[in-house]
Chain A
Amino acid sequence: MPDTQSRPDGLATADAVVSVRGLSKIYKSGFQALKRVDLDIRRGEIFALLGPNGAGKTTLISIVCGIVNGSEGSVTVDGHDIVRDFRAARALIGLVPQELSTDAFESVWATVKFSRGLYGRAPNPVYLERVLRQLSLWEKRDSKIMTLSGGMKRRVLIAKALAHEPRVLFLDEPTAGVDVELRHDMWDMVRKLRESGVTIILTTHYIEEAEEMADRIGVISSGELIVVEDKATLMRKLGKKQLTLQLQNPLEQLPEHLADLPLELSDEGRQLVYTFDTQSEETGIAGLLRRLSELGIDFKDLHSSESSLEDIFVSLVRSRA
């Protein structure tokens, strides 16, 4: 049993609906996709797994869902080991894969009915109708899947994943190739699902999506889980603010007297950018402005901005590389 220190989130196992311990995956080619990953997903949260392509997001999800065998380590879903007790574990999970893999000739209704049965649930047309209506697929229930648009196929996959009333839903890149409007619909739907008590784990490389949706964020890079944190905490902890000053007269280079400050010149010397930490007591802005006026550097405008999750993400992944 690993101690709490080795867990990035210091969470007790009891609160976790999905528990990943020391999970590694080495593919036959020798490629190590996961390196001893520990992760707890809290019941009822929306967890976003962020990472660049090839970081191991899909591998992690695939192992939990039973599509790929892990090389070492263990995973439990609501206390059920995914290998020894695979029936109980998998019955709780719904998976929406990244690829739009659908049966071309099946009707929407037939395919969701199939999914429900496959997961061991007795037929329930009332429930399935509700799912299809929620996803605006009810009108299309008798259409062959191949006649549907990409966005609709994506929703069919979601309907299939929800057909057996899962408690944990994995969404692997749910909004890849989905237009803006549909993306917002999808986000609404995910929130509603969470309200109904479903735990949601989504992978994405749209930072905007994680920022919009997630309660907690995990960043994975080269098979390692770099950080797992509440979204707000993560942004506060790693968030930086920048103060940009539009200079009256362009500077050739930074004056020597300012070399000790985190300053940068940009826009061919017309802008002076000051980066500061939101955490520290003293932002240093007052001091900076005083020194600028002592040096006779005038500015005509100034504004400050907060770094986005994207900036945080990029700096995290870079710092590990």
Chain B
Amino acid sequence: MNFHAIRAIYRFEMARTFRTLMQSIASPVLSTSLYFVVFGAAIGSRMGDIGGVSYGAFIIPGLIMLSLLNESISNASFGIYMPKWAGTIYELLSAPVSYVEVVIGYVGAAATKSIALGLLILITARAFVPYHIEHPVWMVGFLILTSITFSLFGFIIGLWADDFQKLQVVPLMVVTPLTFLGGSFYSISMLPPVWQKITLFNPVVYLVSGFRWSFYGKADVNVFVSVGVTFGFMLLCLAIVWWIFRTGWKLKS
């Protein structure tokens, strides 16, 4: 294992984050705060509680998930897409590193950033709505697991993309709709029965449900199913990354 390489990649990526602090941290925090102002404070006060939780507090886990997913994907995909685009990927390909070091470096940095962002949004939410966290360890666990999993997913998108549009299309066209329809703003028990079944095909439902359980102890689906689905998705992403590096798909001719 080439630890110096992991450190080099990780530092390189974190330096990029700090260079683009406005874009990578400030803007998601601001946009999530707007959600809290509108849905939590303004509209939320006129809405009833959901399962004994005020609407403003109810949407916190979902909103954090929304940012976490989008930021993990865009961080990690951008991180590996840029060297491909700029041509500096030659160095990564000719270095004495295997995909293990490359993935730990890039995905680790993207996940670190997402975790920090998630915590920052959580702290910001305090300014707008009161909430409590029933299972803080699980909460952090979900935060870390989701960040890593979706950073891996973003890494794959970055490897796959060969233009900037492809880089944007999955977060915009797939992940955002799935998050909005994944119970971020409602409990799936509020849906008509048919949609309650259909919505279970949406993986984000499991993430939001599990994450919300760690806050308020109430979940739409069993928390272990949530963990299992997330782990399953992470393993799938790992398998795909391994395959990409083994075959050199989109990386080597």
Q: List residues of chain A with CB under 8 Å of any chain B CB.
A: 27-28, 65-69, 86-91, 93, 95, 97, 99, 101-106, 110, 113-122, 160
Contacts and interface: CB of A to CB of B under 8 A. Distances in A.
Given A28-B253, A90-B96, A118 B86 contact: no
A67 B93 contact: yes
Task: Indicate the member of B83, B87, B90 with the most A CB atoms within 10 Å.
Answer: B90
Nearest to A172: B90
A69 B94 CA distance: 11
B5 A117 contact: yes
User: 10 smallest A-B Cβ distances: which pairs?
Assistant: A117-B8, A101-B87, A90-B96, A87-B96, A65-B94, A120-B2, A91-B96, A117-B4, A118-B95, A67-B93
Contact of A66 (B9, B12, B94): B94
A120 B253 contact: no
A103 B86 contact: yes
Contact of A121 (B4, B9, B12, B19): B4
B15 interface: yes
25 contacts: A27-B253, A67-B90, A67-B94, A69-B248, A87-B96, A87-B97, A88-B96, A90-B94, A90-B95, A95-B94, A99-B87, A101-B88, A101-B90, A104-B86, A113-B8, A114-B11, A114-B12, A117-B4, A117-B7, A117-B8, A118-B95, A119-B95, A120-B4, A120-B95, A160-B91
Nearest to B2: A120
Given A114-B12, A119-B5, A66 B88 contact: no
A115 B91 contact: yes
A103 B88 contact: yes
Contact of A118 (B16, B87, B91, B252): B91
B122 interface: no
Contact of B4 (A28, A86, A102, A122): A122
Nearest to A66: B94
A89 B83 CA distance: 23
Interface in B92-108: 92-98
A110 B15 contact: yes
A76 B16 CA distance: 36
Contacts of A122: 4
